[in-house]
A = this chain, B = another copy of it.
Amino acid sequence: MSTVVRAAIIGSTGYGGVELIRLLAGHPQVEVTSVVSSSSAGAPIAEGFPHLNEIRTDLLDDVDPALLKSKADVVFIATPAGVASKITPLLLAEGLKVIDISGDHRLKDRSEYETWYKKEPAAQEYLDQAVFGLCEVYGESVRGADLISNPGCFPTATLLGLVPAVKAGLIDPASIIIDAKSGVSGAGRGVSLGNHYSEVNENFKAYKINKHQHIPEIEQVLSDIAGKKVVTTFTTHLVPMTRGIMSTMYASMTGNHTNEDFISLYRNYYEGRPFVRIRQNGVWPATKEVSGSNYCDIGFAVDPRTNRVTIVSVIDNLVKGAAGQAIQNLNLMMGWDESLGLRFVPVYP
């Protein structure tokens, strides 16, 4: 493998795929050599994405493992659920490294996948092989891996906000309630009445309450960290904005902990990790403060009246919640600085 890694992106015409193109354009050690789309193969990518005019003049490739082998070292898969499980074995067999941004390799238990995704799960050997790429929690395992399962957007914001407290025993895992909110890009580029501008604008709605497919992914990690089965209450809401996720999380505290206790714990846990920022006492992050960037920002509000803590965690769903974390995983896989090519400032205002 050369010092410049050649990358292919399957699903280049979705929001996760084009975000990979945007971010990798500035990466000093990665070159995107193939943009792939089964539905639009043969067309110039800039035709459907005019913002790429004169930036990418190449045509979309079809999904062809042998072709990808000839053009790339690593393949990002940014497709809807049910595609990566089929193509990953072929890509690995060609000796390619794979970073799967879809949900296909996240749940270790095949029956859970069937229950929540209503699709045929991946083969068990690939589920066993896949490393869950929540970089700040499982980063050690990412190094040298060949198959990474990139976490979902809600799990990323939620787990980075909960893991240190669960691990340290500051909160009761059985009490966790997660109230999540997402911008519209999280639902992808496919058209539906649900993302029609006139229906979404000036509207705020809840959806998939207790039914979202990211629930088992969150519980799988929390159970792993807690060392016992954790079940949560999880609600998702659609916010009239394009990018951004906030998870507002509630839990009963195991003692009279203070905001400072949480801040100190989290700063310690995330020490040396460039993309998690802990807010000072009395301040909570807003989604715009991480927009377009790979940051996850977290703040706390302890309430002595109820002995509960409220934890607020925000990310850009397309960056830290998808393409950005995927690149962070690539950096870790390759043994590079995990922030390589990712140190851009949030877009504000």
Q: Which residues does A use to contact B, with CB under 8 Å?
A: 15, 18, 21-22, 25-26, 49-55, 177, 179, 181, 183-185, 189, 191-193, 195-207, 209-210, 231-233, 235, 237, 239-244, 246, 248, 250, 277, 279, 283-293, 297, 301, 303, 305-306, 308, 310, 312, 314, 343-349
A289 touches which of B50, B181, B192, B210 (Cβ 8 Å):
B50
Q: Could you tell me if A239 and B240 are in contact, using CB atoms closer than 8 angstroms?
A: yes
Q: Could you tell me if B196 and A189 are in contact, using CB atoms closer than 8 angstroms?
A: yes
**How far in angstroms is the closest Cβ of chain B from A268?**
15
Query: Which of chain B's residues have a CB closer than 8 A to the CB of A344?
Result: 22, 25-26, 344
A–B Cβ pairs within 8 angstroms, 11 of them = A49-B348, A50-B283, A51-B288, A196-B196, A197-B240, A198-B349, A201-B240, A202-B244, A202-B291, A205-B284, A206-B248
Number of copies: 4
Q: Could you tell me if A51 and B306 are in contact, using CB atoms closer than 8 angstroms?
A: no
Given contacts A233-B306, A289-B51, contact A202 B241 (CB under 8 A): yes
Given contacts A241-B203, A306-B232, contact A301 B210 (CB under 8 A): yes
Query: Which of chain B's residues have a CB closer than 8 A to the CB of A196?
Result: 189, 191, 195-197
Query: Which of chain B's residues have a CB closer than 8 A to the CB of A191?
Result: 191-193, 196
Cβ-closest chain B residue relative to A187: B198
